[in-house]
């Protein structure tokens, strides 16, 4: 009785929420109030996939859903990105009939790293993908190892783990388990001999504290690592990017499957590998998976093109408090080679909570903007001075960057002179403060 | 004058942009005309305290703090001698806990610290986080930063911040934060501390210079971005405090 009531409450709440444009976690919250163990009373599909990690969760989930649908399966997943326990409850219950049977072949969930253990108390995923673990929202998450400790209890012995072999920290989830499916990227042309970036989180073994060595690194501390003390090393991969030409946008998986990349980024390659690995594990053929990936256009709105006066521009959404997300986009700007002006905006550190914490700016590799194609850098928003202090310690010449606190004034300055491409780097919390001043494309 | 910094474990104790505490102190002293030589010390490396003018260690995870402490115990006598000799030091973030009598982790395992300071630390699974707005007896302006730690520190006799209007201190909310004894400074505030608080930076620079018998500038060079950044953060935190 309580079960049916909870399901009805959730469905009604979701319907009303849709009408008024409210978020998707509240209906699940009501249902959990009415029946706290509702998630153990529903009949779930035989395939349950969870995806967690610091970066790439949403993109990976979207890609998995596309591949599984192309394979003819009915997939339900948390599209709105409501990835805490309540959001997952909303997803499951709105897709259940009143007896509690979930009408789908696959339940696919993006899961917040810190809430996963709570979410999966009542049911266990059959497959669990972890994309990576690194510095992300440290005001909330403490540090990557505290996220590791919070996520670890989410893995049941019967759940198959699909892990990133190239990440020294999240790969520790595979210790003492023999059912792990590893994915990773072999050495390629652009691999560096050692980790890059401002800080080096791969310098010491997360297990024994011994010094680590790298055969090569793809970005930051992601690469082929091994501990000189305890002997732990990058595991052999089951699904491998065996060749990658980022310039041409061609990825080869397992020496057999060739994929044309719609978005030529190393980070996208890891999302693809994670999605490919789990889809293969649940029985999708290599051809079907490759076909979808090759035709896949990233839809999550992290990139937005616009016009600003006579200039064309692209806003690259970087998460504040996430240095690797920023490094990703800085590398993109550097690698594109297009003569450009760059705007970095830090106005509200978070859209969800108040903080004046800006130490994460010191973890970002802004030296990447000291590149011949970057003609001008404007620092803007309430915390522009903190940005400027950070830039005063980069290799960029002082005449290449300037501070314009007011965001509309920064946009006007770009309109007033020059016609190079504009790249704007900022977070969800601040992106509309700039985009509303432009004419958006697409 | 040539000055030497010992930066302990830059790749191990490196959270929250901690390294920038060293960078801004180095640049301030260079602007005053001195040459600064920063020696990075990895676990196992020799460290020459006899010729050190500034000793630094930054924040690390709980596991890495233990790895650091395992190595740093060999330096305990040298650190104590240097402290008696007036060498300026900063232990930022969880490096502060290493100075005390003991550190107990969330599983209840206790290890000994280097016992330079009288306090003890007990870490918990639930982290202590939040913006901080407080006061020190060193100067009238407020101190700003962010607390991100797991340890509750008890037995601090001489805190760096004697009162907080916002945020968590060593033991409790609004309680005193950090530790200072003569030229040894310790604080778990991130910011990084010396980046966000130009006045503490000046005090540490003064400690380095005075011990060397060097004259202090009549007026410290102004880093306008740091100064303005401080003003904005102090204003935002004061406004936030008024609201709550």
Is B177 touching A (CB cutoff 8 A)?
no
Question: Scanning every residue of chain A, which has its alpha carbon at the shortest distance from the alpha carbon of B70?
Answer: A209
- Give the model's pLDDT for residue A83: 82
Considering only CB atoms, B229 lies closest to which of A140, A386, A393, namely A386
Average pLDDT over residues B107-125: 97
B133 touches chain A (CB under 8 A): no
Percent of chain A with pLDDT over 70: 99
Answer yes or no: CATH 3.40.50.300 is held by domain B2-243.
no
Query: For A65-119, what is each residue's pLDDT tens digit?
Result: 999 999 999 999 988 778 888 899 999 999 999 999 999 999 999 999 999 999 9
Residue A5, C-beta contacts closer than 8 angstroms, at least 6 positions apart: A34, A35
> Which residues partner with A212 through β-bridges?
A227
Eight-class DSSP state of A192: B
> CB B190 to CB A357 under 8 A?
yes
Among chain B residues, CA nearest to A348: B236
The confidence score (pLDDT) of residue A247 equals: 85
Q: Do A138 and B15 touch (CB under 8 A)?
A: yes
Please indicate whether, in this complex, the C-beta atoms of A356 and B148 are within 8 angstroms of each other.
no
User: How many Å lie between the alpha carbon of A214 and the closest alpha carbon of chain B?
Assistant: 15
Compare A23 and B216 and report the one with higher pLDDT. Answer: B216
pLDDT tens string B219-243: 999 999 999 999 999 999 999 988 8
Residue A252 tokens, joined: 């080869």
Query: Is the confidence metric ipTM above 0.95 for this complex?
Result: yes
B73 touches chain A (CB under 8 A): no
Partner A, chain B 180-209, Cβ-Cβ below 8 Å: 190-192, 195-196
- How long, in residues, is chain B? 244
- Using an 8 Å CB-CB cutoff, list chain A residues near B61: 143-146
Q: How close B84 gets to chain A, by Cα (Å)?
A: 31
CB–CB contact B232 A382 (8 Å): yes
From A141, A113, A140, A139, select the one nearest A128 (Cα to Cα): A113
Spell out which residues of chain A touch residue B226, defining contact as CB-CB under 8 Å: 385, 389
Q: Scanning the structure block, which residue is given the tokens 């349950």?
A: A48
Q: What is the pLDDT of residues A137-184, one digit of tens each?
A: 999 899 999 999 999 999 999 999 999 999 999 999 999 998 899 999
CA pseudo-torsion sign A333, A334, A340, A344: positive
Q: What is the DSSP string of B122-154?
A: EEEEEEEEEEEEEE-SS-SSPEEEEEEEEEEEE
Task: Kindly list the residues from chain A whose CB atom is less than 8 angstroms away from the CB atom of residue B231.
Answer: 385
User: How sure is the predictor about A1, in pLDDT bands with cuts at 50, 70 and 90?
Assistant: confident
Q: Where are the beta strands (DSSP E) in chain B?
A: 2-8, 35-41, 54-57, 88-92, 102-104, 110-112, 120-135, 143-154, 163-166, 179-181, 184-187, 189-190
Cα gap B157→B179, rounded to integer Å: 8
Q: Which residues, in sequence order, are CB contacts of B237 under 8 Å at separation 6+?
A: A356, B131, B133, B142, B144, B166
| Residue-wise pLDDT tens digits, A217-257 | 999 999 999 999 999 999 999 999 999 998 888 999 999 99
Residue B38 at interface with chain A, using a CB cutoff of 8 Å: no
Confidence of residue A300 (pLDDT cuts 50, 70, 90): low
Q: For chain A, how far is it from start to end, CA to CA, in angstroms?
A: 48
B chain contacts of residue A209, beta-carbon cutoff 8 Å: 12, 43, 63-64, 66-67, 70
Q: Would you list the DSSP string of A43-108?
A: B--SEEEEEE-SS-HHHHHHHHHHHHHHTT--EEE-TT---SHHHHHHHHHHTB-TTSBB--SEEE
Kindly state the helix (H) or strand (E) to which residue A215 belongs, with its residue range: strand A212-219
Contacts of A359 in chain B (CB under 8 A): 16-17, 20, 146, 190-192, 195
Domain boundaries, chain B: 2-243
From chain A, which residues contact B within 8 Å (Cβ)? 138-140, 142-146, 149, 199-201, 203-204, 206, 209, 211, 354-363, 382-383, 385-386, 388-389, 392-393, 403
CATH number, span A42-83+109-294: 3.40.1190.10
Superfamily of domain A303-440: Mur ligase, C-terminal domain (3.90.190.20)
Domain coordinates of chain A in residue numbers? 42-83+109-294, 303-440
Please check the confidence at residue B1 and state whether its pLDDT lies above 80. yes
Cβ contact (<8 Å) for A355 and B131? yes
Sheet strand arrangement including B2-8: B35-41, B2-8, B54-57, B88-92, B184-187, B179-181
Give A429 or A406, the one with higher predicted confidence. A406
Q: What is the pLDDT of residues B199-222, one digit of tens each?
A: 999 999 999 999 999 999 999 999
Which residue, chain included where needed, has tokens 């780097």? A425
Report the phi/psi class of residue A222: left, alpha or beta, with left for phi > 0 and alpha for psi in -120 to 50: beta
């Amino acid at each position: 009785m309580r079960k049916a009531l909870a399901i009805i409450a959730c469905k009604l709440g979701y319907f009303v929420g849709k009408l008024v444009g409210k978020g998707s976690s509240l209906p699940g919250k009501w249902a959990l109030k009415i029946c706290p163990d509702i998630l153990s009373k529903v009949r779930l599909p035989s395939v349950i996939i969870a995806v967690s990690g610091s970066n790439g969760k949403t993109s990976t989930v979207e890609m998995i859903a596309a591949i599984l649908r192309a394979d003819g399966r009915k997939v339900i997943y948390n599209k709105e990105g409501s990835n805490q326990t309540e959001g997952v409850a909303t997803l499951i219950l709105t897709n259940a009939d009143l007896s509690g049977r979930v009408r789908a072949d696959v339940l696919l969930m993006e899961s917040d790293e810190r809430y996963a253990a709570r979410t999966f108390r009542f049911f266990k995923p059959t497959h669990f993908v972890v994309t990576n673990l690194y510095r992300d929202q440290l005001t909330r998450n403490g540090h990557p190892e505290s996220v590791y400790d919070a996520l670890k209890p989410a893995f049941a012995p019967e759940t198959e783990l699909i892990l990133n072999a190239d990440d020294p920290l999240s790969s520790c989830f595979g210790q003492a388990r023999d059912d792990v499916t590893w994915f990773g990227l072999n050495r390629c042309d652009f691999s560096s001999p050692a980790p890059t970036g401002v800080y080096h989180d791969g310098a010491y073994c997360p297990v024994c504290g011994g010094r680590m060595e790298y055969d090569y690194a793809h970005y930051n501390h992601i690469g082929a690592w091994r501990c000189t003390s305890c002997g732990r090393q990058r595991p052999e991969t089951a699904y491998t990017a065996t060749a990658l030409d980022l310039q041409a946008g061609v990825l080869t998986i397992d020496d057999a499957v060739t994929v044309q990349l719609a978005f030529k980024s190393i980070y996208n390659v890891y999302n693809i590998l994670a999605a490919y690995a789990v889809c293969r594990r649940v029985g999708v053929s290599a051809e079907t998976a490759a076909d979808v990936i090759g035709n896949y256009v990233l839809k999550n709105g992290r990139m937005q093109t616009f016009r600003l006066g006579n200039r064309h521009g692209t806003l690259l959404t970087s998460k504040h408090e996430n240095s690797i997300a920023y490094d990703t986009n800085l590398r993109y700007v550097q690698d594109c080679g297009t003569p450009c002006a760059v705007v970095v905006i830090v106005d509200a550190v978070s859209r969800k909570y108040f903080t004046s914490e800006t130490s994460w700016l010191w973890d970002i590799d802004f030296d990447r903007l000291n590149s011949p194609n970057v003609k001008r850098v404007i620092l803007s928003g309430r915390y522009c001075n903190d940005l400027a202090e950070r830039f005063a310690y980069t290799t960029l010449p002082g005449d290449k960057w300037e501070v314009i606190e007011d965001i509309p004034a920064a946009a006007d300055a770009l309109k007033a002179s020059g016609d190079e491409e504009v790249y704007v780097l900022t977070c969800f919390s601040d992106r509309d403060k700039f985009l509303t001043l432009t004419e958006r494309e697409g | 004058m040539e000055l030497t910094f010992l930066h302990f474990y830059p790749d191990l104790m490196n959270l929250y942009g901690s390294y920038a505490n060293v960078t801004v102190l180095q640049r301030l002293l260079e602007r005053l005309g001195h040459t600064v030589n920063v020696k990075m010390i990895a676990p196992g490396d020799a460290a020459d305290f006899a010729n050190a003018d500034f000793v630094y260690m930054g924040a690390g995870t709980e596991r890495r703090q233990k790895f650091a402490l395992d190595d740093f115990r060999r330096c305990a006598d040298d650190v104590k001698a240097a402290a008696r000799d007036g060498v300026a030091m900063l232990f930022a973030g969880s490096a502060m806990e290493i100075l005390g009598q003991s550190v107990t982790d969330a599983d209840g395992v206790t290890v000994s610290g280097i016992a330079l300071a009288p306090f003890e630390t007990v870490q918990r699974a639930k982290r202590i986080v939040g913006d901080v707005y407080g006061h020190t007896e060193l100067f009238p302006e407020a101190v700003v930063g962010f607390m991100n730690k797991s340890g509750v520190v008890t037995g601090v006799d001489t805190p760096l911040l004697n009162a907080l209007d916002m945020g968590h201190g060593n033991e409790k909310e609004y309680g005193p934060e950090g530790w200072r004894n003569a030229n040894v400074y310790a604080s778990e505030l991130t910011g990084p501390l010396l980046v966000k608080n130009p006045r503490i930076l000046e005090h540490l620079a003064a400690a380095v210079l005075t011990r060397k018998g060097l004259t202090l500038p009549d007026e410290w060079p102004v880093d306008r971005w740091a100064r303005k950044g401080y003003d904005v953060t102090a204003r935002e935190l004061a406004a936030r405090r008024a609201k709550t």
